């Protein structure tokens, strides 16, 4: 029988005061496949272990099917965990490894029928008499999954089960896991740092950073409407283009976003999203453009909502089915500090502001204390002693995805068209301000 899992303001603090999970609230429906995604060390595995009962919850509540479960032992929670390192007993055969938890739960019962049924489900019947040392990595992972499945648990907890496998096998097993969990209909919580796994497997994706839940939504919504710059940059391959921009909104002219040597003119009549950008007049913002939001084409072939810029080819990456072209457009890339780091960099102290209400200032302070800044529009910090300085030769500021039949060479000046309907705008601290939360861009265009 599957079950619901609810975390309410759950925190985990270790003895030295290190807070690795901070007030996380998350509801997982019965039968749902939820993926916890984030950089290594962000607290996602700790959340999984708290659900399993392997870590104590410092603050907050865990509820299973609506019942308080903080004090339940791991065995009482009736969950099965699949570990990153397989965790098989080397002196036991595959049959014995799969049947071991069944012998513990019911010492007098014969585990062979359930072991055989599980082996048939996973296609490992011919491996039942082999030892772990005689198995490949993929076969060991199937055995580890079989040990979890044979128990008929109320939930599967998977802690990066594919990270130790090669890419081809990882893709194959990913499809098998998706098919298997769908067939069994068991609640599944899956931890990974690989956004491709998260997007292909999850009914919903919960993105974490620094122990704080950044966003939880369907894979499509997380990609199309990232809540902040961190989510936008962490989700998607190639990584989203992030450029520094300045909003110009004159009363007697068109609204534009300056990108340094060029600008994007917002089409008129202004959409509601773009009208709301007027409050950013004269302020520096972060412009986000996915690689598919820009195409190589002459201004005369522009579709409604497309605006022209030009780019100088810096580098061409041939990917087989597509080409990634790096352009220099004269823009300044936005610096996202420690994007792959688990914990955000502390925001530098700011001078006390005199404008705004006390309530608004308190809300700003609460937000900054809770999650820390995602991005600050300052120049990249100077590297410390012994650190490797950033490579000044990194090609271009804009990556565009195009077809493999295109013939481009370094140094060519190329006309580009930007689809303004796929434009993201973030404020100076990385929070999304455009598009508004009620608008979901059409990804089929």
- Cα–Cα dist 439/62, whole Å: 33
Give the three-state DSSP class for 7: strand
What tens digit of pLDDT does each residue of 165-195 get?
777 778 888 888 888 888 888 999 999 999 9
Domains in the chain, start-ordered, CATH in brackets?
5-225 (3.40.50.300), 230-347+374-379+394-434 (2.40.50.140)
pLDDT for 386 equals 53
Phi, psi of 301 (to 5 degrees): -100, 15
Q: Among positive and negative, which fits the CA dihedral 108, 112, 117, 118?
A: positive
pTM exceeding 0.85? no
Alpha carbon 127 to chain centroid, angstroms: 36
Cβ-contact 420, 290 below 8 angstroms: no
Cβ-contact 35, 195 below 8 angstroms: no
- Cα–Cα dist 257/420, whole Å: 11
Cα 164-167-171 angle, rounded to 5 deg? 100
Q: Torsion-angle region of residue 60: left (phi > 0), alpha (psi -120 to 50) or beta?
A: left
pLDDT for 364 equals 44
Phi, psi of 181 (to 5 degrees): -65, -35
List the strands of the sheet with 284-289, edge to edge.
263-265, 256-258, 241-248, 284-289, 423-426, 432-434
What is the end-to-end Cα distance of the chain in Å, rounded?
Answer: 41
**Taking the chain (445 residues) in consecutive chunks of 10 residues, what is each chunk's mean pLDDT?**
89 88 95 94 94 94 95 91 85 92 85 90 90 89 88 90 79 84 90 92 94 94 93 92 92 88 90 85 92 94 93 92 93 75 54 50 43 53 50 71 91 94 90 74 49
pLDDT for 170 equals 81
Residues in contact with 246: Cβ distance below 8 Å, sequence separation at least 6, in sequence order: 257, 258, 282, 283, 284, 285
Pairing of strands 155-159, 187-192: parallel
């Amino acid at each position: 029988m599957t079950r619901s899992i609810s975390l309410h303001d759950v925190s985990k603090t270790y003895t030295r005061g290190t807070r690795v999970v901070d007030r996380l609230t998350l509801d997982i429906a019965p039968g749902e496949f939820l993926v916890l995604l984030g950089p290594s060390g962000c607290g996602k595995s700790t959340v999984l272990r708290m659900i399993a009962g392997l870590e104590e919850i410092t603050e907050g509540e865990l509820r299973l099917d609506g019942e308080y479960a903080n004090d339940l032992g791991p065995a009482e929670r009736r969950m099965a965990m699949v570990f990153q390192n397989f965790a098989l007993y080397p002196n036991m055969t595959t049959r014995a490894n799969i049947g071991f938890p069944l012998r513990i739960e019911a010492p007098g019962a014969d585990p062979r029928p359930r072991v055989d049924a599980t082996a048939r489900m996973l296609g490992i019947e011919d491996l039942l008499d082999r030892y772990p040392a005689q198995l490949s990595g993929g076969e060991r992972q199937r055995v580890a999954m079989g040990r979890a499945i044979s128990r008929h648990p109320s939930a599967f907890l998977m802690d990066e089960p594919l990270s130790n496998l090669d890419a081809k096998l990882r893709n194959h097993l990913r499809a098998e896991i998706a098919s298997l969990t769908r067939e069994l209909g068991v609640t599944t919580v899956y931890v990974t740092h690989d956004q491709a796994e998260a997007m292909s497997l999850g009914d919903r994706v919960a993105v974490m950073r620094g122990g704080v839940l950044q966003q939880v939504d369907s894979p499509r919504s997380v990609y199309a409407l990232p809540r902040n710059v961190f989510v936008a940059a962490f989700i998607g391959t190639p990584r989203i283009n992030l450029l520094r921009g300045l909003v110009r909104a004159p009363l007697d002219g068109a609204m534009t976003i300056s990108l340094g040597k060029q600008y994007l003119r917002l089409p008129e009549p202004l959409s509601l999203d773009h009208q709301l950008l007027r409050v950013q007049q004269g302020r520096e913002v972060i412009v986000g453009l996915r690689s598919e939001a820009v195409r190589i084409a002459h201004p005369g072939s522009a579709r409604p909502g497309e605006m022209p810029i030009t780019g100088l080819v810096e580098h061409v990456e041939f990917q087989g089915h597509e080409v990634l072209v790096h352009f220099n457009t004269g823009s300044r890339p936005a610096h996202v500090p420690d994007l792959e780091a688990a914990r955000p960099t502390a925001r530098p102290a700011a001078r006390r502001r005199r404008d705004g209400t006390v309530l608004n200032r308190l809300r700003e302070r609460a937000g900054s204390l809770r999650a820390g800044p995602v991005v600050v529009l300052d120049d990249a910090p100077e590297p410390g002693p012994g650190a490797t300085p950033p490579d000044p030769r990194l090609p271009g500021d804009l990556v565009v995805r195009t077809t493999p039949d295109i013939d481009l060479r370094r140094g060519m000046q190329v006309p580009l068209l930007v689809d303004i309907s796929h434009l993201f705008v973030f404020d100076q601290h990385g929070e999304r301000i455009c598009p508004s939360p009620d608008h979901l861009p059409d990804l089929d265009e």
